[in-house]
Amino acid sequence: MKNRRWYDKDPILKEALEVLKISPAKTKDEAAEFILQLQTQVAGEVIDHVHEMMKKYQGKGNRWYDTDPVIMKAIELLRLAPAKTQREIALKILLAIEEGNFTDIKLNI
């Protein structure tokens, strides 16, 4: 298949991002804050790559998350995370959206 998005390989991750895409701005913001917890877990070169991607696409990209710098940073961090971490975060995002509460959701990496 051509033109697959990076998150299409994992059905749970795909569902989480598709649900997030159509969620209200408040939910997107809360999810971004949750995902940004990854920053403390990743190496400096990953952070540098995220900043490069942000410079390249912010406000110019076609992806649904390119217009908001916080959400864009969070999704780029998620994209660069190991598959196991992506899946854990996706499951927690779906749970938090279903419960309507990101407050009690913690990243355990």
**pLDDT confidence of residue 44:** 65
**pLDDT confidence of residue 25:** 94
**pLDDT confidence of residue 96:** 92
Every domain of the chain and the residues it spans: 43-101
Tens-digit pLDDT profile for the chain (109 aa)? Answer: 555 888 999 999 999 999 999 999 999 999 999 988 877 766 667 777 777 877 777 667 788 888 888 888 889 889 888 889 899 999 999 999 999 888 877 777 6
Rounded CA separation 5/31 (Å): 20
HSE-up (13 A, CA, CB side) for residue 4 = 9
- Give the Å distances, CA to CA, from 76 to 46, 54, 65, 72, 79: 10, 8, 10, 6, 5
Rounded CA separation 19/94 (Å): 8
pTM of the model: 0.77
- Give the Å distances, CA to CA, from 16 to 23, 43, 45, 59, 86: 10, 25, 26, 23, 10
**pLDDT confidence of residue 17:** 95
